[in-house]
């Protein structure tokens, strides 16, 4: 006759709905799984956003806050802009473009100015009036500049190299620009003003462009 094995009884109090192996409720396990799901979804969307936003911020668009009054009244101190940086890699700057550039004497500083002279041209200023000549333009082009409200009666002349731009502020009497520190090499041109986002009352696409003044680039 085989020995009788004693029957072992689990004397723990069984709680209704409890998982005997873990001692936890199914509802608690569901809450924990739901919490980890939320965390994972947050991480996933953060990674996706970084993959999209970082290249855009690096190569396509950058924010810029106007400092000073050198572009008054086209731009005012404190305005918030989005700068199109893609033009650094694809396309060319045109006369009349409003650009963000690195100050040639200290590239850590950024200025906002308007493109006046293009590579290879000669920019002549006589009594505040700007004219353009080049090897292919022997008849001077006298610029129509309705954006200039505060002229400076000065005179100078500068011939640009093949990779240089002549820039000036719209507030000619209070702008430090190519008249003072010379032309800007293309490598220091950081993009064009694409969008003004602040203040809300001044939101505009390509603010200060020649089209907004009813004139076309020459």
Question: Are 164 and 185 spatial neighbours (Cβ–Cβ below 8 Å)?
Answer: yes
Q: Say which of 44, 67, 113, 149 is annotated catalytic.
A: 113
H or E segment and range at residue 41: helix 26-55
Q: What tokens does 206 get?
A: 């390509």
Say whether 70 is catalytic: yes
Give the residue from 145, 98, 95 showing the smallest Cα distance to 120: 95
Q: Say which of 70, 175, 178, 209 is annotated catalytic.
A: 70
Question: Are 192 and 198 spatial neighbours (Cβ–Cβ below 8 Å)?
Answer: no
Angle at 82 between CA 179 and CA 118, to 5 degrees: 35
Determine the distance from the C-alpha atom of residue 50 to the mean position of all C-alpha atoms in its chain, rounded to a whole number.
17
H or E segment and range at residue 92: none
H or E segment and range at residue 54: helix 26-55
CB within 8 A of 156, min separation 6: which ones? 124, 125, 179
Q: How many CB atoms lie within 10 A of CB 31?
A: 11
Say whether 67 is catalytic: no
Q: How many CB atoms lie within 10 A of CB 117?
A: 25
Give the residue from 154, 153, 156, 160 showing the smallest Cα distance to 137: 160
The residues carrying an active-site annotation are: 70, 113
């Amino acid at each position: 006759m085989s020995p009788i094995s004693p029957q072992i009884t689990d004397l723990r109090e069984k709680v209704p709905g409890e998982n005997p192996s873990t001692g936890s409720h199914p509802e608690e396990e569901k809450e924990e799984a739901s919490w980890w799901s939320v965390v994972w979804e947050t991480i996933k969307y953060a990674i996706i956003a970084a993959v999209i936003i970082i290249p855009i911020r690096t190569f396509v668009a950058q924010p810029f806050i106007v400092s000073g009054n050198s572009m008054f009244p086209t731009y005012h101190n404190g305005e918030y802009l989005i700068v199109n940086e893609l033009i650094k890699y694809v396309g060319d700057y045109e006369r009349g473009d409003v650009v963000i550039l690195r100050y040639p004497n200290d590239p850590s500083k950024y200025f906002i100015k308007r493109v006046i002279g293009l590579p290879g041209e000669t920019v002549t200023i006589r009594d505040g009036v700007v004219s353009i000549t080049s090897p292919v333009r022997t008849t001077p082009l006298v610029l129509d500049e309705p954006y200039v409200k505060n002229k400076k009666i000065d005179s100078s002349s500068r011939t640009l190299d093949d990779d240089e731009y002549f820039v000036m502020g719209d507030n000619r009497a209070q702008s430090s620009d190519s008249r003072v520190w010379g032309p800007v090499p293309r490598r220091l041109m950081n993009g064009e003003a694409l969008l003004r986002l602040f203040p809300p009352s001044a939101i505009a696409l390509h603010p200060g462009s020649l089209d907004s003044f009813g004139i076309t680039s020459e």
